[in-house]
Amino acid sequence: MNIRLEKHSELEATVVVDLLKEDYQEKVDSQIKKIQKTANINGFRPGKAPLGMIKKLYGKSVIAEEIQQMASDKLNNYIKDESLDILGYPIGSEKIESSLDIENSEEFTFAFDIGLAPSFDLNIKEKDKLEQFKIEVSDKEVDEDIDNARKRHAKLEEAEKSDAEAIVYAEVTELGEDGNPLEGGVGTKPVSFVPSMIEDKKLQKVFIGIGKDFETSCDVRKLFNNNEAVITNSLGVPKEAVADLSDKFSVKVTEIKSRILPELNEEYYTEAFQGQEIPKDEAEYRSRVQENLVKYYENEASLWLDHEIGDYLMEKHKFDLPDEFLKRWLITTKTEEYNAENIDEKYAQERDALVRRLIIDKIAAENELKSEQEEIIQEAKLYYMGMYRQYGMNINMNDDFLTETVMKRLGEQEFISQMNDRVIYRKAYDKVKETVTIKDKKTTVEKYFEHVNKHKH
């Protein structure tokens, strides 16, 4: 047996594995004998068919299986022994032809193309400057947060007419150009929405002051503010289908409920602060809301700084990747997502993610960053706290429900790997923060979000 590496460039190479008969024959013979012991051949008792007949019937398929497995094992061992830093996984070569003629040959050649990770130096300097926002929370933000909390704890009552904050329940159906239900389109689906949350002001007005049995038509994407996740969940369609939805859906209102906001009293505080110390009066309640908002915006500013660090690292580290190999690898291994028509467009995002990962891995390696079990658990809790916050649920780190949820997921290797990556990313970003110069910048909540929305990409 012979195995060799043929480099085509600094980033692309082919591993060639040559197998002779003596490399695989012993394993083939052993497998043939195992088959003989259980083979059920007409004219012979089970397990008593001649070895020659078994070879004739099964020999070629056994050889094909054994040489494939042997070549794969030798390839993996070679990559490990030679410490080759590869990207993706090896795939059948387009540079060197494999020779796998089982019918006419006893010697075989397997050729695997591989993509090699680039070599680069970290370029993170103390003179480089980043900004850390210090977001000031005003009475306006406190008032808005209290209003939102009261809405979450409001009682629902059936109403004759809708106001801006009512919950409107309706049935929507996709329509064709003739105004009739579209054949093969989205059938009647129950949905709900709050008029004030519709960003299209013209459409928002349509649903204020209406009653039950009100009917109209509209673009359902505008109804749900072009939020892909909400649209797919509400209509039961895959995200790929959202762009192809009709511009018109019929909307038939079936029910309207108004929200009766609770008074700021002990009963409300008890419900809103379950499992926590109850505020004794409105002043203390507002103070607690203020403290929570300060913590929330400190976290927001920290997340934005992380976003800035991500951009900074990408800007400071420019290097090549084996792009053509990686495109072919994606098309070959993820056929349901990538093809020759969309690979150029979709690869750009994959490339950015890979470049960022290589930079993080470099920072981690040079600083010997590792994750501990407790850090993974804490990261998982932060992950779920962020998820629950999106649904208006404020859960603290020691909440029993949160702990139970996380501990269940820790039995899943993929989830552990995901949380481990988040821990390493966090530690790598902390190393960047320790190196570069970070200046505080005071701002208001409104100006902060203006800045964020202007620079999101």
Residue 364, pLDDT > 90, answer: yes
AA identity, residue 21: K
* Residue pLDDT, tens place only, 415-441: 999 999 999 999 999 999 999 999 999
Structure tokens given for 205: 């007005």
**pLDDT for position 30:** 92
Encode pLDDT of 171-213 as tens digits.
999 999 999 999 999 999 999 999 999 999 999 999 999 999 8
pTM attached to this predicted model: 0.69
Contact 181, 175 (CB under 8 A): yes
Two structure tokens written together for 416: 């552990």
Cα Rg, the chain, nearest whole Å = 31
Over residues 435-447, the pLDDT tens digits come to 999 999 999 999 9
Q: Rounded distance, CA 246 to CA 312, Å?
A: 41
pLDDT score at 375: 95
At 457 the pLDDT is 57
CA distance 407 to 402: 9
Q: What is the pLDDT of residue 361?
A: 95
Residues contacting residue 325 through CB under 8 Å, at least 6 positions apart:
11, 12, 87, 88, 113, 114, 115
Mode of pairing for the β-strands spanning 437-444 and 129-136: parallel
Across the chain, what does the average pLDDT equal? 92
Is 317 in a helix, a strand, or coil? coil
348 burial via Cβ count (<10 Å: 0-12, 13-18, 19+)? exposed
Q: How far is the C-alpha of 72 from the C-alpha of 94, rounded, in Å?
A: 17
Q: Which domains does the chain have, with CATH numbers?
A: 2-116 (3.30.70.1050), 129-136+273-455 (1.10.3120), 155-260 (3.10.50.30)
Average pLDDT value for residue range 217-240: 92
CB 399 within 8 A of CB 334: no
Dist CA 206 CA 29 (whole Å): 79
Q: Does residue 396 register a pLDDT over 60?
A: yes
pLDDT tens, position by position, 92-137: 999 999 999 998 999 999 999 999 999 999 999 999 999 999 999 9
Least confidently predicted of 256-260, 276-280, 305-309, 328-332:
276-280
Task: Give Cα 160 to chain centroid, integer Å.
Answer: 43
Compute the C-alpha angle 114/118/120, nearest 5°: 170
Q: Residue 66 in contact with residue 27, Cβ under 8 Å?
A: yes
What residues contact residue 169 under an 8 Å CB cut-off, 6+ apart? 190, 191, 192, 253, 254, 255, 256, 257
Q: Are 448 and 135 in contact (CB under 8 A)?
A: yes
> Can you tell me the distance from the alpha carbon of 332 to that of 339, in angstroms, rounded to the nearest whole number?
9
How far from 72 is each of 7, 77, 151, 268, 419, CA to CA, in Å?
19, 9, 60, 65, 30
User: What is the pLDDT, as a whole number, of residue 42?
Assistant: 83
Q: At 251, is the secondary structure helix, strand, or coil?
A: strand
Mean predicted confidence (pLDDT) in 302-329: 95
Task: Give the contacts of 70 (CB within 8 A, at least 6 positions apart).
Answer: 19, 23, 24, 27
Report the relative pairing of strands 155-158 and 2-7 from DSSP bridges.
unpaired
Q: Using CA atoms, how far apart are residues 282 and 453, in angstroms rounded to an integer?
A: 34
Taking the C-alpha atoms of 302, 305, 311 and 316 in order, what is their torsion angle to the nearest 10 degrees?
-120
- For residue 392, the model assigns a pLDDT of 63
pLDDT at residue number 55: 87
Q: How far apart are CA 63 and CA 94, in angstroms?
A: 24
Task: Give dist(CA 70, CA 142) in Å, integer.
Answer: 67
Q: What is the pLDDT of residues 153-163, one digit of tens each?
A: 889 899 999 99
Task: For residues 98 and 17, give the distance between their C-alpha atoms in angstroms, rounded to a whole number.
Answer: 9
User: Which residue shows structure tokens 């061992």?
Assistant: 77
Question: Which one, of 350, 444, 357, lies nearest residue 133 by Cα?
Answer: 444
Query: Which structure tokens are listed for 219?
Result: 């673009």
Query: How many Cβ atoms are within 10 Å of 178's Cβ, its own excluded?
Result: 7
**pLDDT number for residue 101:** 92
What pLDDT, in 10s, does the model give residues 49-97? 888 888 888 889 999 999 999 999 999 999 999 999 999 999 999 999 9
pLDDT value of residue 163: 93
Burial 289-309 (b: 16+ CB within 10 A, else e): bbeebeebbeebbeebbeebb
Where residue 394 falls among pLDDT bands split at 50, 70, 90? low
Q: Which tens digits make up the pLDDT trace of 10-62?
A: 999 999 999 999 999 999 999 988 888 888 888 888 888 888 888 888 889 99
Q: How far is CA 162 from CA 152, 159, 166, 255, in A?
A: 18, 7, 6, 10
